[in-house]
Structure 1
Amino acid sequence: ENFRARKEEHIFVTSVVSCCPAELKQEVNGKKETLRGFNIKLQDTILFPEGGGQPDDRGLIGEVPVLRVKRQGPDALHFVASALEEGQEVRLKVDWDRRFDHMQQHSGQHLITALADKMFGYKTTSWELGHQRSTIELDTPSVTPAQLQELEEAVNEKIRAHLPVSVQLLSVDDPALEKVRSRGLPEDHAGPVRIVSIVGIDDNMCCGTHVSNLSHLQVIKLLGTEKGKKNKTNLIFLAGNRVLKYAETSYNTERSLVSLLKTGPDEHVEAVDRLQKSVKLLQKTNLSLLRDLAVLIAQNFKNDPQKGNFFSLHKKEGDNEFMNIIANEINTEETLVFLTVGEEKGPGLFLLAGPILFVLTRVLELLQGKGAGKNGRFQGKANSMARRGEVEALLRRRCQHGISQEE
């Protein structure tokens, strides 16, 4: 059903046909989880199952949240965490904010697709309704900035013309289907064919949810293009409320940058460019100083008459090159060298040089580290420097009692 573009309580009364145990695989904070629950089949539904490039709806069956809706032939399966009794009457409510957002993006896609084809002959081969922005894949190697601007002006002109969007159902053998834009029906399609029409612009075979008038789209912003698959271009766009949210986010970012950079918005790019050049210069200078410092540290140790046969150093700032310079300057055939860089209690890098095989396993255990080595030198990453002191004490004791390669 087409819904009027206004926020309201969309309630639908239906009954439970079946309730079957099921599992839902989902990603939470980057981790894949499997949730056990139930697939609910209803007598009828107002919740859209995923399809046609559009994500599924969310909502409630009674007080039970619907976590996923998927299509199974002519039916929709609603995944919920708790069971519902077969035959019981239930009140179904749709998450209107999510639904209306999807309506705006999907109708916006139809409008952009139709005009891109009519104006430039660029066919749409696929599209994706994303969480923040949507993408239309056009069958062309490139879209020029002038074409992008012309297309954006054209779609917004149609929105201002508040053209109606209508839905009609046709039988599969209706001759009118031959004139309808389509990418084909799914193999398990059942029932009549649903046609979504924008008056005078487009007739498209589509199962998705749409606004009833282009004015409900408010505005469309074409953000730009990206290189797509072979000889194709991805057109990125926002429609309706997403444009308002994008403007709000951009303005808040702009205000933060004004405070941080102490310049007006028109000078932000230039200010960041100056900062990047300054940081690169400082990094280069810092690297040069660290190299000089590494040589001085090694020379100072070698010139110490009381130096012994063990050298240990931890420095918060540094890298593998810093440690290797020190190890190269010191005769590690006579001296056991233990170097670390990074946070005192956190992760970092380590280098162990000299006759080290007799303690290597224990060192890696204490540092929670791993790495590789050859010719008497082993280096790698440590997950924690918290027990560095224990490693140093262990190595110092071994050196004081004499290093034995057989231990």
Structure 2
Amino acid sequence: MIKEALYYQRGNSGEEAEKELIVLEKRELSEKEIEEFVKKWGGSYSSLFCYRLSESFFYPEGGGQPCDRGSIAGAELLFVEEKEGELWQYTEADFPEGEKVLCKFDADFRRWQSENHSAEHIFSGLVTQHFPYKNSGFHMECFGENPHMTVDFDGEFSEKELEELEQGVNAVIRENLPIREIYLEGEEDTSLERKDGSISFRQKKALEGDIRIIEIPEVDSCACCGTHLSFTGEIGVFTILSYEKHRKGCRLTMLAGELAFLALEKKLKLLSGFAQSLSRPWTEIPEAFRSLQEKIFEKEEEKRGILEAGISLLEEKILKELEEQRKEIEDGEGTATLFLGSPLKDSCFSYYGKNQYLFLYLSELGMKDLQKICDRLRLSLPLSLICLGKKEEGFSVVAGSREEDMRAFGKLLGEKLSFRGGGQKEMIQGSTGVGFREMNAFIERIL
């Protein structure tokens, strides 16, 4: 933390977003240092330089807040870090020491970060007031296609509690309370005295030296090195995007300020479009969605009924053919080889088998339905059953038997047809990329 830093002056636009500074010190990174930089931050660089400038203009990474985005003399600012009270700026450009360079920070990005960081303090302050939970993690990403911030707590919230917290944050925003900086020099305690009374504040770890506190009256006081707004009303709006259990607590994904407004506007347009497609007002979407779910469930039930009936008919047909062939063999009118169906073809249904194997092709069914059919028929048919479904390239494969160890058959499939999958002795599943010609040739060889 640098108390006199320009980035704490909260200039987010206009002339304050750019300033001419002097290069006080330059250092070129070694190949090993560049490799470490790339490993941590990404990118590709033939050379990399870091500079110490005449003033603390760019915000460095820290406290869950990424560093500023911007440029130095037109060169992209890659990273900013603070080391022992000094700021170091990284770029690919080579500037001599003593040169004056025009520095610019991305004013929108700085403002987005300030809006979200201030909103996070309000949220965490309200949690501290009403719950025995601690903020255990904070991270912001205020750029890209999916801007957001995540906050971790060592406890869990109900849906109603989250709704009340979200409403509480927006109420504090509407109050337009001041967001104040307080500096405590050389203190380490969490309960300290100053002229207008005592102050206690949140902190994630033990602090030494000067401490900067961000205070929102009656809402929150927290040790922080990040950038903030001057009043809560400048945030505008706050929303919780998602909630999930995380380790022994939870992780909340949220957004505030202009980015939240844009996200909510996009969500409203999507909801309005969905409502229009259903010919219902968007306020009736939950009811329309429930009705749609019921119809889908009814269709699924109907599909399951048709599938059950189809399995029974297929089972009956195959057993009948096997019985007829056995009688022909016993009467001396047939060959010793049991033969079912004909070579597989790309139609909705075909089957082909000899002796102990039956290959069944069902083009319209997915893996779950294939598993269901295979598990049912393998118990009633005196054959090892291989069910095939259609993929963009090749087949989905489910193979089962009541007697044969199908893992050995899976190994054969892997050797001959590049089958990839796994399973148990009774049934295996996976896929292969071969076509009908290769599949039928394989069947002829093994049967």
Question: TM-score over 0.5 for the alignment?
Answer: yes
Following the alignment from structure 1 to structure 2, what is the Cα–Cα distance between the partners of residues 321 and 249? 41
Cross-structure match for 1:50: 61
Following the alignment from structure 1 to structure 2, what is the Cα–Cα distance between the partners of residues 121 and 328? 56
3-state SS of paired residue (1:313): strand
Following the alignment from structure 1 to structure 2, what is the Cα–Cα distance between the partners of residues 69 and 183? 24
Cross-structure match for 2:260: 243
Q: Are the structure 2 counterparts of residues 367 and 259 from structure 1 closer, same or farther at C-alpha, using a change threshold of 3 Å?
A: farther
Give the residue type in structure 1 aligned to 2:267: S
Give the residue type in structure 1 aligned to 2:224: C
* 1:268-303 deviation line (CA, Å, top 9, x unaligned): 111211222222232233233223323322432343
Comparing both chains, which one has the higher relative contact order based on Cα–Cα distances under 8 Å and sequence gaps of 6 or more?
1
Cross-structure match for 1:312: 359
Bigger mean CA offset, 278-287 vs 4-13:
4-13
For 1:193-342, list aligned pairs within 5 A. Answer: 193-198=211-216, 204-221=222-239, 238-304=255-321, 305=325, 306-307=339-340, 308-309=354-355, 310-316=357-363, 317=365, 318-332=369-383, 337-342=385-390
Q: Are the structure 2 counterparts of residues 380 and 112 from structure 1 closer, same or farther at C-alpha, using a change threshold of 3 Å?
A: closer
Give, in angstroms, the shift of residue 103 of structure 1.
0.6
Cross-structure match for 1:381: 430
* 1:216-270 deviation line (CA, Å, top 9, x unaligned): 223445679877776x787765432133113212211112211332322122111
3-state SS of paired residue (1:256): helix
Give the residue type in structure 2 aligned to 1:323: C
Following the alignment from structure 1 to structure 2, what is the Cα–Cα distance between the partners of residues 396 and 110? 71
- Contact 1:54–1:102 (8 Å) recurs in 2: yes
For 1:4-403, list aligned pairs within 5 A. Answer: 4-6=11-13, 10-12=17-19, 13-15=21-23, 16-20=25-29, 21-22=33-34, 23-24=36-37, 38=48, 40-43=50-53, 44-80=55-91, 82=92, 84-85=94-95, 87=97, 89-114=100-125, 120=130, 125-126=135-136, 128-131=138-141, 132-134=147-149, 148=165, 151-152=168-169, 154-159=171-176, 163=178, 165-167=179-181, 169-172=183-186, 179=199, 181-183=201-203, 192-198=210-216, 204-221=222-239, 238-304=255-321, 305=325, 306-307=339-340, 308-309=354-355, 310-316=357-363, 317=365, 318-332=369-383, 337-343=385-391, 345=393, 348-351=396-399, 360-365=410-415, 366-374=417-425, 379-382=428-431, 384-387=432-435, 389-399=437-447
Bigger mean CA offset, 98-107 vs 82-91:
82-91
Give the residue type in structure 2 aligned to 1:18: R
* 1:112-131 deviation line (CA, Å, top 9, x unaligned): 555666x7587764562443
Give, in angstroms, the shift of residue 357 of structure 1.
8.2
Q: Are the structure 2 counterparts of residues 356 and 34 from structure 1 closer, same or farther at C-alpha, using a change threshold of 3 Å?
A: same
3-state SS of paired residue (2:361): strand
Q: Are the structure 2 counterparts of residues 67 and 302 from structure 1 closer, same or farther at C-alpha, using a change threshold of 3 Å?
A: farther
- Contact 1:19–1:39 (8 Å) recurs in 2: yes
- Contact 1:41–1:75 (8 Å) recurs in 2: no
Following the alignment from structure 2 to structure 1, what is the Cα–Cα distance between the partners of residues 298 and 259? 40
- Contact 1:367–1:388 (8 Å) recurs in 2: no
Q: Are the structure 2 counterparts of residues 394 and 91 from structure 1 closer, same or farther at C-alpha, using a change threshold of 3 Å?
A: same
TM-score for the superposition, normalised by structure 1: 0.75
Following the alignment from structure 1 to structure 2, what is the Cα–Cα distance between the partners of residues 301 and 112? 66
- Provide the aligned length of Structure 1 versus Structure 2: 381
Following the alignment from structure 2 to structure 1, what is the Cα–Cα distance between the partners of residues 64 and 96? 31
Following the alignment from structure 1 to structure 2, what is the Cα–Cα distance between the partners of residues 151 and 176? 29
Following the alignment from structure 2 to structure 1, what is the Cα–Cα distance between the partners of residues 262 and 251? 22
Percentage of identical aligned residues: 19
Bigger mean CA offset, 235-244 vs 248-257:
235-244
- Contact 1:338–1:392 (8 Å) recurs in 2: no
**Tell me, which stretches of 5 or more residues in structure 2 are unaligned?**
1-7, 142-146, 326-338, 341-353
Following the alignment from structure 1 to structure 2, what is the Cα–Cα distance between the partners of residues 282 and 168? 63
**Tell me, which stretches of 5 or more residues in structure 1 are unaligned?**
400-407
Bigger mean CA offset, 100-109 vs 233-242:
233-242
Q: Are the structure 2 counterparts of residues 352 and 179 from structure 1 closer, same or farther at C-alpha, using a change threshold of 3 Å?
A: closer
Alignment root-mean-square deviation, CA: 4.1
Q: Are the structure 2 counterparts of residues 207 and 337 from structure 1 closer, same or farther at C-alpha, using a change threshold of 3 Å?
A: closer
TM-score for the superposition, normalised by structure 2: 0.69
Q: Are the structure 2 counterparts of residues 123 and 315 from structure 1 closer, same or farther at C-alpha, using a change threshold of 3 Å?
A: closer
